[in-house]
Chain A
Amino acid sequence: MVAGKMAGYCSKHFMTNCWAVQTKFIAKGDDVDEFIVEPSDRTIEEEIGKLLTTDEATKADMAVALTRLTKEIKEREKIETQLRQSEKRFKDAYDRAEFYKDLFAHDINNLLQGILSPTQLIEVMTKDEKLEASIKKALNIIQEQVDRGSRLVFNVRRLSQLEENNMMMEKVEIVSILKKSIENLKNSFQDKKIEINFDSFDEEIFILGNELIQYVFENILINSVMHNNNPIIKIEIKVSKQTLRNYYNYKIEFIDNGFGIEDSRKNLVFNRVNKDGKNVSGMGLGLSLVKKIIEIFKGKIWVEDRIEGDYSKGSNFIILFPEMI
Chain B
Amino acid sequence: MPSILIVDDEPSIQFTFKHIFLAYGFEIAGIANNGEEAIGLFKSFVNKPDIILMDHRIPIKNGLEATKEILQLDSHTKIIFKSADSSIKNEALSLGAVSFQDKPFKIEKMIEEIHKALKQR
Residues on A facing B (Cβ under 8 Å): 102, 105-110, 112-118, 120-121, 124-125, 143, 146, 149-150
Residues of A within 8 A of B10 (CB): 110, 114
Q: Is the CB of B89 closer than 8 A to any CB of chain A?
A: no
Q: How far is the CB of A115 from chain B (nearest CB, A)?
A: 8
Residue of A nearest to B105 (CB): A113
The distance in angstroms between the C-alpha atoms of A124 and B20, with both chains bound, is 7
Q: How far is the CB of B25 from chain A (nearest CB, A)?
A: 11
Q: Is the CB of B26 closer than 8 A to any CB of chain A?
A: no
Q: Known contacts A102-B85, A121-B23, A149-B104; can you find 17 more A-B pairs with CB under 8 A?
A: A106-B84, A109-B84, A109-B103, A112-B103, A113-B13, A113-B84, A116-B104, A116-B105, A117-B20, A117-B107, A118-B12, A120-B16, A121-B19, A124-B19, A125-B19, A125-B23, A150-B104
Q: Is the CB of B68 closer than 8 A to any CB of chain A?
A: no
What count of chain B residues pass the 8 Å CB interface test?
Answer: 18
Most buried by B among A102, A106, A117, A146: A117
Residues of A within 8 A of B105 (CB): 113, 116
Residues on B facing A (Cβ under 8 Å): 10, 12-13, 16-17, 19-20, 23-24, 57, 84-85, 102-107
> Is A112 a contact partner of B12 (Cβ separation < 8 A)?
no
> Is A113 a contact partner of B103 (Cβ separation < 8 A)?
yes
> Is A146 a contact partner of B104 (Cβ separation < 8 A)?
yes
Residues of B within 8 A of A120 (CB): 16, 20, 106-107
The distance in angstroms between the C-alpha atoms of A41 and B69, with both chains bound, is 68
Residues of B within 8 A of A146 (CB): 104
